[in-house]
Structure 1
Amino acid sequence: MHKVLIIEDEESIRGFLNINFKMHNFLVIEAGSGEEGISKARIEHPDIVILDVMLPGIDGFQVCETLRKELSDIGIIMLTAKGQDIDKIQGLEMGADDYVVKPFNPMELILRAKSLLRRVRDKADQVQSENLIYGPFVIDPYSLKVSKNNVELSLTPTEFHLLKLFIENPGRAFSRNELLDIVWGNDFVGDHKIVDVNIRRLRVKIEDKDSDGLFIETVWGTGYRWRKE
């Protein structure tokens, strides 16, 4: 059973989400503040975190940044206010995997969570796979770990799957729609900003300092590709 942590200060919304996630066989943990959410995440290590931006005390952005640093393998979906594009971008920049705009359909959030779980994956269900080696990179599909020049990189589940897809297909140009379908899933409902922000985050983590698209190239008007050696 997958575990979801709901960090939301409005009790009515927490209760509503609790019921809906339990109906879809999730084990639900609740927190009413950012501080409580971080504490419970450290203890429970959930698979997915549903995180509201507007929280008493430390806000959702700070919570997201803390969780991403300490628990890089969990999935984070942020709840943002309607029309606040800056919240969406800032949340993604802080390390969120996805966002849902309030007011939202609970089924959409459930589908987003399930799509994210496919990227996070349950290691116990996986078969041991051989490491994928490309240049300075070594990818371990079983542990979802990546190293560059023998130094482990701290990647989110989404960043991991983007990198793995690129390395498995060097030289192939992927459109943003293709990346959304392959990495986020065919049932993902959202815009292309989430692709661009994740690529930007991935580049910061894997590119050499001062390099200009040494590994991930922008294909103008289309999307991105991994530069062949």
Structure 2
Amino acid sequence: MTKMLERDSKSRFSDLFQRKYRHIIVVGVGLMLIQQFSGSTAVISYTSTIFSKAGFSVTIGSTLLGIFMVPKATIGLILVDKWGRRPLLLTSACGMSITCMFIGLAFTLQKMQLLPKLTPVLTFLCVTLYIASYAVGIGGLPWIIMSEIFPMNIKVTAGTLVTLASWSSSSIVTYAFSFLFEWSTEGTFYIFGAIGGTSLIFIWLLVPETKGLSLEEIQASLTRQPNEINRM
């Protein structure tokens, strides 16, 4: 045990680029990029701005979302060991993509001055469902999967890289959202929706199911071909 800890403490950043770690690094970093570039930070941080633009009461919307935030935090915890990681990630990404597309549609209708009463209600419902979809998978599971797929000898350095990817992409999305929102309100959500849709392919092809597996079993599964992983 002591020798293993000494070896782990000497792991270098360059170790991450060994071929045998390529898959897990791509999975870890990819999930963090999906988490941010699918718009989660922007939607959660600028909820009031979105409601105001849609013509929905900011006070009512913020209050209802605040009430909703309490139970939604437990949804993912309850389902993660029943459904598994991959199904929840796929469900989450699908929900986030669809709701973003509908928010984009709501603002498109507003821009075309069609069905003016629909835009506020549709926007509120879709933002709420977006946050719920985010909570059941993309919100927390990338961190859980990261802790499960990285071997002990690179866990610290890989964790640092993944965290850097998360914070960097979060900053980019938060900074760019205001400009994107001003440029094209509906276009911003179509972009987020498209990224969410693309992430389904990434999750389906590359992310392994780690539910109920030991670290050794997870590492063994990651050496298999993608088609074998998907059948797990």
- Greater helix proportion: 2
TM-score, scaled to structure 2: 0.24
TM-score, scaled to structure 1: 0.25
Bigger Cα Rg: 2
- Greater strand proportion: 1
